[in-house]
């Protein structure tokens, strides 16, 4: 097998998507490996998950920097030292500067708990319930300077049930996220998806792999 693509994961908290990526990378034929995990918040659960998996962790507290760009430069330097080629945002609760985003353009992806372009931003599940939508889901997309707006790599749908609460919808969506994110990272690491200008371009990919509804991801 060819070398695995070294990947950095940025987190701010719980790290359940990070764990899903760790589990995927543990499979012998997975095309990526997690070379480092960086959190902007100390002592979060996700850091412990990474340490348990033997992955190098770094805390870069944003409070220690005067400017957003300075924090992002430290982030960039840490990723460079870990020699990563791809970066996954996994619950990273910090807006990145345009300079950072442009530098990593096409190699920086995020997971969002809605079917984008609907329900960008925070507090997604409450807004989905209030809207009366009957289907929700999650999206992995390339990161561009505008929040939650980059070209879509993959999506998974989940039903919104009549008696759903924010918690039950979040739990169902998160289960889909945990399957979708490794799938999307695999497509990127295998260069079966690329960012070309403003579009995600796919090669050697079946329809079922691109648009996923209750999918058989594996
Ligand atoms: C997930 O819902 C993800 O979609 C969003 O933030 C949450 C992070 O959860 N961007 P976790 O830290 O991966 O458990």
Q: Which of 71, 104, 137 is the last residue of a domain?
A: 104
Co-location of 121 and 74 in the same domain: no
pLDDT at 218: 37
Q: Examine the domain organization and report whether 100 and 193 are in the same domain.
A: no
Is 58 one of the annotated active-site residues of the chain? no
Q: What is the mean pLDDT of residues 19-31?
A: 98
Boundary of a domain, candidates 72, 104, 136:
104
Residues 44, 128 within the same domain: no
Specify whether 85 is located in the same domain as 169: no
Shared domain check, 138 and 41:
no
- HSE (side-chain half, CA atoms, 13 Å) at 209: 15
| Residue of 23, 111, 136, 176 to test ligand 1 pocket, by largest number of atoms within 8 Å of CB | 111
- With 60 as the cut, is the pLDDT of residue 191 above it? yes
* 6 C-alpha to ligand 1 centroid (Å): 21
Looking at the chain, the whole-number percentage of residues with pLDDT higher than 90 is 91
Which atom of ligand 1 has the smallest separation from the CA of 18?
13
The angle that helices 16-25 and 45-52 make with each other, rounded to 10 degrees, is: 10
Question: Same domain, yes or no, for 90 and 10?
Answer: yes
Structure-model confidence comparison of residues 71 and 2, the more confident one: 71
CATH number of the domain residue 169 falls in: 3.40.50.170
Domain boundary residue, one of 78, 104, 130: 104
The predicted model scores a pTM of: 0.95
Q: What is the mean pLDDT of the chain?
A: 94
Given pLDDT bands bounded at 50, 70 and 90, which one contains residue 66?
A: very high
Q: Give ligand 1 pocket residues (Cβ under 6 A).
A: 13-17, 46, 90-91, 111-113, 174, 177
In terms of domains, do 94 and 169 share one?
no
Going by alpha carbons, the residue nearest to atom 1 of ligand 1 is 91
DSSP assignment string, 89-143: ESS--SPPPHHHHHHTTTTEEEEESS-TTSS-SS-HHHHHHHHT-SEEEEEEEE-
Determine the pLDDT at residue 208.
66
Pocket test for ligand 1, best of 11, 90, 185 (most atoms within 8 A of CB): 90
Average pLDDT over residues 58-81: 96
Between 34 and 210, where is the model more confident?
34
Per-residue pLDDT tens for 199-214?
999 998 876 666 555 5
pLDDT of 215? 47
Tally of structural domains, the chain:
2
User: Which atom number of ligand 1 is nearest to the Cα of residue 110?
Assistant: 10
Q: Mean pLDDT across the stretch 188-207?
A: 92
Same domain assignment for residues 58 and 121: no
Do 7 and 96 belong together in one domain? yes
Q: Give the domain extent around 9.
A: 1-104
Regarding whether 99 and 13 lie in a shared domain, the answer is yes
């Amino acid at each position: 097998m060819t070398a695995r693509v070294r990947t950095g994961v940025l987190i701010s908290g719980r790290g359940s998507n990070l764990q899903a990526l760790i589990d995927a990378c543990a499979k012998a034929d997975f095309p990526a490996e997690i070379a480092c995990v960086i959190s902007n918040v100390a002592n979060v659960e996700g850091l412990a998950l990474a340490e348990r998996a033997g992955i190098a962790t770094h805390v870069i507290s944003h409070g220690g920097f005067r400017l957003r760009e300075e924090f992002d430069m430290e982030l960039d330097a840490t990723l460079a030292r870990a020699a990563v080629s791809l970066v996954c945002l996994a619950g990273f609760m910090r807006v990145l500067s345009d300079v950072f985003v442009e530098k990593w353009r096409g190699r920086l992806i995020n997971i969002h708990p809605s079917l984008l372009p609907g329900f960008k931003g925070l507090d997604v599940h409450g807004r989905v319930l209030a809207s009366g939508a009957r289907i929700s889901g999650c999206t992995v997309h390339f990161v561009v300077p505008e929040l939650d707006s980059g070209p879509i790599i993959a999506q998974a749908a989940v039903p919104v049930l009549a008696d759903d609460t924010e918690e039950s919808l979040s739990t169902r969506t998160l289960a889909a996220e945990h399957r979708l994110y490794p799938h999307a990272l695999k497509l990127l690491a295998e260069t079966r998806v690329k960012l070309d200008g403003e579009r995600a371009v796919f090669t050697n990919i079946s329809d079922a792999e691109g648009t996923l509804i209750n999918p058989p991801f594996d």
